[in-house]
Chain A
């Protein structure tokens, strides 16, 4: 598993020389551009087995043939894929057993971002697999998890250590040719998390990964694979914050969830990438493909709080393949200033007695555009499928927009589908009521927004809910008008 320092040194030296990569003080970064050689080099750099390299190359071939999707209700300057560096990693590769060994500078960055590792370790029992510019640098609580047989590691490690699992499941839910960004990710994914819960095991703690973008001009291509074996349970948290950036950063992640018979996966996200400044300059482009597959009696629940990114393009979906499986989607998407979000979900009912729930809350302020786009599809074999969807939008200010694009396709007569959507603003009487009780307008709005989003906030794990609530307040700061 861990290589000796000598080997590492040697490797670093030779690799750099071989491919002519430049390294600045903190991280080594590929030169900008994307071609087959870059894909091969990336794969080599990560010491991947041959099958993985071939897999990536195949994805790259598919990607070259594809064009960027334009159907989303977002407008932006398309990223130049040749102007992005496809690999950047902190230079100290060895894994640490304890925090003391971690580069103090790195730790300092985390602290400034308000995430204290030791605090989290103590407080919540959260095992944190930190991803700093794509490569895991610290993994905690690994031992406790190992005792249960749970595998929680970076995906590059998993490719090396558990190739049979990765080989079997990677690309099984989000195929390489699924869409433009999924194909790109498949070709050049840098790292990500891998999680396997064995049969009948209930994961004793919330698994969590914090993502950071820290290197200028670096695209982040995360790949997450969560497999819950028969009868197991896992709650997975993903949180993102990114420091201010002037140029646009591209983020194209792929998340695949596999819930085998009777398993349950709860996947929560708090996303707060840099949204660009008040003039709409900068900000992260977030093009994410997230999808889960439910086998018999399985359940997948997506919860997301989206406050960041200049552009969000994200549809966490559930394929309800097995009979009696359940899919859930709870989402809050907040857009302010010049942010644009086109987000929603897909619920594909294939099995009998499948159920899905969609609760989506959109809040738009400033000059932002917020769209809900969803698909509920009931196939002809999906007897007694049930869906309930609700999407509510809250508008703050008269320069923003809220849009809904729900697609409903039913091919089975026993299907029961309900969809409702409302759009409104915060009532003046509501604010007045708060004001006359001594609550100032800003607070009142926070209060009302909180109530508006409560249905979704309640679905978040405790530690996350608090953070998310704060995030909502911060993102809407100064939008009173």
Chain B
């Protein structure tokens, strides 16, 4: 891949960037030899010569992309087209809360203080793809919710790739800060609009202060030629509650690196995911929950349904530090294989250094219950619908904690389409 050095040299975060470039140059792209990338190969992506900086600006009409918005309700929108901000499609605000652009936050002096405190503070300075993003990212969402505030509407972050470039690599960078007693809901989506190759290497940093509540939903239902490497880093303080839901229904290769760092007591972290794959798709969920303080909880629940020649990977790591006594960490990973060519590799991992903890993980790979199937069929429900129903039920726990009814409905529809069944009701 050829990098063009288009980045502004006088930028205040120039030092951070050059540091990051240096790290990436020594590390390079991760290979399958690295334990964290054992089951996911980036070889096929590295062969493609991606263009890093699109040459021209592209515009889209609202009706072309309306279906990708959660249009049933009003939301704040931050929309990017081929990595460039589209003010026409977006709706940002500075009314009490800041929901705007990373580029303006990085350049305008009024944000300087916040940037100094938070930018690149929780994101890894070692992991090569994260540093690649740190070095070359130009745009993204910046959300700052001050103390005791909650925005009136949820925030949607959408990235569209128009396909005007034959191959495109996007490197969005988001920074989200939710201060004490504040609340935020975010829906993030990456969408390619053509069948041209797109690779997105996204980094999101989320800071949840004391008593903050953050709900983050990732909807991944992209085209066959679109790949996504998503790196999310979350730092939590005392009594904060952060939930991340990941819905992976498509894309060529999706890698979700989701990292939680608990830097306080009585923290609650929730990681949930539904994965339904077909064709030759590949999804890799790589989660880390690092319990660094006592009396915290984490809940993980990932369900996967794998058909055709798809591959699923789940690697969930829980680390409990020596001082993090009274930790409760739960992890659950259930998988259904519905095709003989599908593969699932899972590695739930516990690393525990404290003794007064309750940690468990459970992992299953199996089929739908034949008895349940028979029950439904004996009541006149055709096998195909019965299969759909059972899979629906299988994925249901994950949906239960989605707090936006419209989003839940949307996901339901996506699941139904993906499974090829019409259910005639919502869960």
Contacts and interface: CB of A to CB of B under 8 A. Distances in A.
The yes or no verdict on A and B being binding partners is yes
B365 interface: yes
Interface in A398-455: 398-425
Contacts of B342: 411, 413
A409 B337 contact: no
A419 B348 contact: yes
Contacts of B360: 420-423
B268 to A, nearest CB: 20
B367 A414 contact: yes
A116 B402 CA distance: 67
Given A406-B347, A421-B360, A415 B352 contact: no
Nearest to A71: B35
Contacts of B343: 409-411
Nearest to A428: B356
A398 B347 contact: no
Interface in A380-403: 380, 393, 395-403
B350 interface: yes
A420 B350 CA distance: 11
B357 A418 contact: no
A228 B353 CA distance: 43
Contacts of B357: 395, 423-425
B299 to A, nearest CB: 15
Interface in B323-368: 325, 335, 337-367
Chain B interface helix/strand/loop/mixed? strand
Contacts of B358: 422-424
A402 B354 CA distance: 9
B314 to A, nearest CB: 9
Given A398-B325, A405-B349, A407-B345, A420 B363 contact: yes
A145 to B, nearest CB: 43
Chain A interface helix/strand/loop/mixed? strand
A416 B355 contact: no
B35 to A, nearest CB: 7
Contact of B352 (A409, A419, A423): A423
A405 B349 CA distance: 5
B419 to A, nearest CB: 16
Interface in A333-348: none
B153 interface: no
A413 B348 contact: no
B346 A398 contact: no
A410 B306 CA distance: 11
Most buried by A among B35, B345, B360, B363: B363
B355 A413 contact: no
B121 interface: no
A406 B365 contact: no
B383 interface: no
A413 B342 CA distance: 7
Contacts of B348: 404, 406, 419, 421
Contacts of A411: 340, 342-343
Contacts of B361: 404, 419-421
B355 A409 contact: no
A58 B203 CA distance: 50
Contacts of B335: 410
B152 interface: no
Contact of A416 (B325, B362, B365): B365
A408 B350 contact: no
Contact of B340 (A380, A418, A422): A380
A398 B325 CA distance: 9
B283 to A, nearest CB: 15
A131 B344 CA distance: 45
B322 interface: yes
B391 to A, nearest CB: 14
B337 A412 contact: yes
Contacts of A421: 348, 350, 360-362
Given A399-B322, A410-B337, A423 B365 contact: no
A59 to B, nearest CB: 25
A413 B338 contact: yes
Given A413-B337, A421-B350, 17 more contacts: A378-B365, A398-B356, A404-B361, A408-B363, A408-B365, A409-B346, A410-B345, A412-B337, A412-B340, A413-B339, A413-B342, A419-B364, A420-B360, A421-B362, A424-B357, A424-B358, A425-B356
